[in-house]
Amino acid sequence: MNPSSTDPARLDGKLAIVTGGGSGIGAATAKVFAAAGATVIVTGRRLEPLQRVAEDIGGHAIACDVSDQAQVKAMFAKARTITGKVDVLLNNAGGPGPIAPVADVDMDDWVACMNINLVGAMYCLQEAARIMSTQGSGSIINMSSLMGIQGYAMRSAYVASKFALIGITETMARELGPVGVRVNALLPGAVSGENMDRILARRAKAEGRPVEEIVRQNYTDVAALRRWVAPEEVGRAALYYASDLSSAITGDKMKVDCGRF
């Protein structure tokens, strides 16, 4: 017998969709899923980085702007033709949103953040729910954040979107549990990479503080492990929820934050 067929950490024969898969957590998780045996679809707005990730892991790249419902429907339909199923969704696409106090935030930017992080997530969740309900199986992983369980100054749009994803996760877990579909959420803390570098630069400008001071006071020194989270560490947590390692777990949320409690 092939050992992989009895290993609950394996994803052999399964198709996984990773939104926001061209960089950061999405790209790292796509690699983790592929190494576990999954056929991986990486999606995002820009095709070139998706193609690089897909080529690296032997997966498939499909350009898709999650804030456009028609594009989301087309992406899921195309993904489904590859194996006939969609077994895993990592609902990861999103952006940091505006960095400003509530009193001063540009509401156009605020709404744009919600359209990507929340409305776009819902478009993906609707398609996944319909497909997986018909199959009678599947695992959905919503990418929330540590800011999905605690407020954070200057980040009201992002916080609101990530809090909402927790509620949607629990709602869908109740809705889809009877048909064998699990829905869970990941709550990364500060994850190293280009996205965090951009956020730090914007915070430094908005707050008039050096990047090094912001990093020390707000990210690394306040974590029990005194360091950043690496993208692949979030990917390994996603594999736990995607695989049968967590076969009895749904409606759950897991922090991946180096101990920021």
pLDDT in tens, 209-258: 998 888 888 888 889 999 889 999 999 999 999 999 999 999 999 999 99
pLDDT in tens, 34-79: 999 999 999 999 999 999 999 999 999 999 999 999 999 999 999 9
Q: State which amino acid sits at residue 118.
A: L
* Average pLDDT rounded to a whole number, residues 126-138: 98
CATH topology of domain 3-190+230-256: Rossmann fold (3.40.50)
Order of all β-strands in the sheet with 138-143: 60-63, 39-44, 15-19, 88-91, 138-143, 181-188, 253-256
Contact 192, 181 (CB under 8 A): no
pLDDT in tens, 96-120: 999 999 999 999 999 999 999 999 9
* Range picked from 1-5, 86-90, 215-219 for highest mean pLDDT: 86-90
The closest of 142, 149, 159, 132 to 25, measured between CA atoms, is 142
Q: What is the share, in percent, of the chain residues with pLDDT greater than 70?
A: 98
pLDDT band at 197 (very low <50, low <70, confident <90, very high): confident
E strand spans, 49-171: 60-63, 88-91, 138-143
Buried b or exposed e, range 166-193, using 16+ CB within 10 angstroms: bebbbebbeebeeeebbbbbbbbbbbeb
Q: Where are the domains of the chain?
A: 3-190+230-256
Rounded to whole angstroms, how far apart are CA atoms 228 and 108? 31
Catalytic residue ranges: 158
* Kind and range of the H or E run holding 79: helix 69-83
